[in-house]
A and B are shown apart, each in its own frame.
Chain A
């Protein structure tokens, strides 16, 4: 069965990812991980995250995908042993230093990070023969290439299906290092490829349109079934920095696609799934390299901001059947207005929010502040971790 692999920047996101349908999550610890700006997991969170996942038959992978300098070597064995003790299922690594150390000193499974840009069979076999069980392919490859590799190697193949794309070969980019002094291969990527530049020839500006190297995000709604048929072991969603709502929305969309395909052997309405994804805050998306070398339609020009939708207004903490009031943690401002309950378990339902109370039991017309616990009257059963959405454009 094909694994759906989701990102989780902290323990709450890990739980949301699993509840909303991920088979496995990848997380960063406090060391040796790219995405230095993600919250990342303490040892206690790691243990709790692994326990939560394993109780539900799910897996936890820890990214240890930095490219270490000489001074970064200290503490590696101890750190990997901590991951092993926490019962982490695998590490995702790019550096032979980390890979070799994990294989020599722990029983951790090793997955090769996309930072190694594996785009051919010999590269996959090189890492497999070294002891890795899985190789995450580079994102710079078409579907035919993915299928060819997957069918001709013993290693498990993991492929990205959704999220941000490096404009260049991952791991080989030093734009951020040079232009901002932030080391991309040690967690400091400043996404310099998304900046705007003037393009000049012989010292003269040749266009008024800003040049950018930025790529649209990847979205593989239409390609997932092909990847499943090819035997790709794991389908990966990128985005450890993304919000709870983004993770829930994207994970649940792909969960439903995979489940429908496994049960019926077909997808009846791709458009419906593409529409589900639009609820998530996102940059524009495209199919990346799946159908060949990217064209202008896969690049981002004159745009660089994500849409900030603020449609995720509350997270359900519990539900009182007697009073039909749900306890809700507020996320964004909402009013007495139509709300949608987004649930991992069933189809979304809407209701008119007619009554809600603050923590003192006073009726309110506006939930104004985030992270407050309020009561919302919902005329049907809802469950912890269900999300309330408001219509926002």
Chain B
């Protein structure tokens, strides 16, 4: 099982690569919920990671219009694609772009909520893609069952603020317009939503060029499931959005060593949760309502 993570600062790349097997990058025009857009430094980072014999994944995780797909194609032509391990996409339409560029075997499909059973997970096997992300909304038992039947690499969101919502709408902009105020909240990573009946948790909200995104405030973790996951997961993702590179590095070490450093969790004032690993959501919410 390889550990890959996101990156906040270029100067932290070396230290991250000391513990991670690879990193995830992206450009704001084609990706959502980035920790950072390294713009002209992106190619340098790709070269550097490649030189270190580590892996680099490029996020293309927006839902695209036809016009945008053309731009994606042009963008990819300017990248050292031979040094990129995989392209993580949420839109199945990207497959045609990958096919045209001869990159299908590097496509990693991540529709976030949709791959909840082995047939859906493996559905692109005839296209010979690199892999796919299992849904974040299923149990450990289902993940293990899918993993035993996988036909390509299984990617797993293992630690971080779990995404709950993705809209194309610029909802902070429209809210500010409604209030007749200028929008100074775009790309602000310090915003939270709170709900009257759920005061124990506030939910990060982020508006970027791709739209509006809402996350769990508590940190999703996989410590209790690590042993079982290691038998089926090929890539374990630590997402440091709303956190930092130091945290990501320490967390990866904790997973590698199987030891939970409680002081780190306390330092960051975090509450951990297990998502749906051990408690499946239901149709009518009987368990929690």
CB-based closest 8 A-B pairs: A122-B96, A122-B93, A181-B288, A123-B93, A182-B285, A97-B119, A168-B167, A197-B193
Which one of A148, A172, A207 lies within 8 Å of B113 (CB-CB)?
A: A172
Q: Which chain B residues in 158-203 approach chain A with CB under 8 Å?
A: 162-171, 174-175, 177-179, 185, 188, 190-196, 198, 202-203
Taken together as a complex, chains A and B put the C-alpha atoms of A294 and B171 apart, in Å, by 9
* Contacting pair B281 A181 (CB below 8 A): yes
Is B145 interfacial (CB 8 A cutoff)? yes
- 23 CB contacts below 8 A, A to B, read A69-B139, A70-B118, A96-B123, A116-B92, A117-B91, A120-B66, A148-B66, A167-B167, A167-B169, A172-B111, A177-B281, A178-B164, A179-B198, A181-B285, A182-B289, A185-B116, A187-B283, A188-B284, A195-B195, A199-B191, A209-B179, A213-B212, A296-B177
From residue A157, how far is it (CB to closest CB) to chain B in Å? 13
Is A55 interfacial (CB 8 A cutoff)? no
* Contacting pair A171 B282 (CB below 8 A): no
Is A384 interfacial (CB 8 A cutoff)? no
Which one of A120, A126, A183 lies within 8 Å of B281 (CB-CB)?
A: A183
Taken together as a complex, chains A and B put the C-alpha atoms of A197 and B201 apart, in Å, by 12
Is A202 interfacial (CB 8 A cutoff)? yes
Taken together as a complex, chains A and B put the C-alpha atoms of A95 and B119 apart, in Å, by 9
Q: Which of B64, B111, B174 has the most CB of A within 10 A?
A: B174
Is A169 interfacial (CB 8 A cutoff)? yes
Inter-chain contacts of A68 with B (CB < 8 A): 116-117, 120
How would residues 9 to 20 of chain B score, 1 for a CB under 8 Å from any chain A CB and 0 otherwise? 000000000000
Segment of A2-10, A138-146, A225-233 engaged in the interface with chain B: A138-146
* Contacting pair A172 B166 (CB below 8 A): yes
Is B112 interfacial (CB 8 A cutoff)? yes
Chain B residue with the shortest CB-CB distance to A127:
B92
Q: Which chain B residues in 271-289 approach chain A with CB under 8 Å?
A: 276, 279-289
From residue A74, how far is it (CB to closest CB) to chain B in Å? 11
Taken together as a complex, chains A and B put the C-alpha atoms of A180 and B286 apart, in Å, by 9
How would residues 199 to 234 of chain B score, 1 for a CB under 8 Å from any chain A CB and 0 otherwise? 000110100000010101000000000000000000
Interface size for A (C-beta < 8 A) is 73
Taken together as a complex, chains A and B put the C-alpha atoms of A67 and B115 apart, in Å, by 8
- The chain A residues found within 8 Å of chain B, CB to CB, are 36, 67-73, 94-97, 100, 115-123, 125-126, 138, 140-141, 145, 148-149, 167-169, 171-175, 177-183, 185-188, 190, 193, 195-203, 207, 209, 211, 213, 215, 289, 293-296, 298-299, 301
Inter-chain contacts of B198 with A (CB < 8 A): 179
